[in-house]
Amino acid sequence: MPSGCDDEELPWSRVGETYLDTKYAYVCHAEMNAIMNKNSASVKNCTIYVALFPCNECAKLIVQSGIKEVVYYSAKNGESMEAKASRKMFELAGIKYRQHIPKEEKLVIDFSVINKNKSQPTGMKASATAMRR
The domain ranges of the chain are: 30-102
Count of helix runs (H) and strand runs (E) in the chain? 4, 5
pLDDT (0 to 100) of residue 96: 98
Catalytic residue, chosen from 8, 9, 17, 31, is 31
Pick the CATH number of 30-102 from 3.40.140.10, 3.40.47.10, 3.40.640.10, 3.90.226.10: 3.40.140.10
**Is residue 102 very low, low, confident or very high in pLDDT (cuts 50, 70, 90)?**
very high
pLDDT (0 to 100) of residue 122: 55
Known catalytic residue at 104 = no
Q: Is the pLDDT of residue 123 over 60?
A: no
Element (H, E) at 52: strand 47-52
pLDDT (0 to 100) of residue 36: 81
pLDDT (0 to 100) of residue 127: 41
Q: Mean pLDDT throughout 76-80?
A: 89
Element (H, E) at 10: none
Residues in the chain: 133
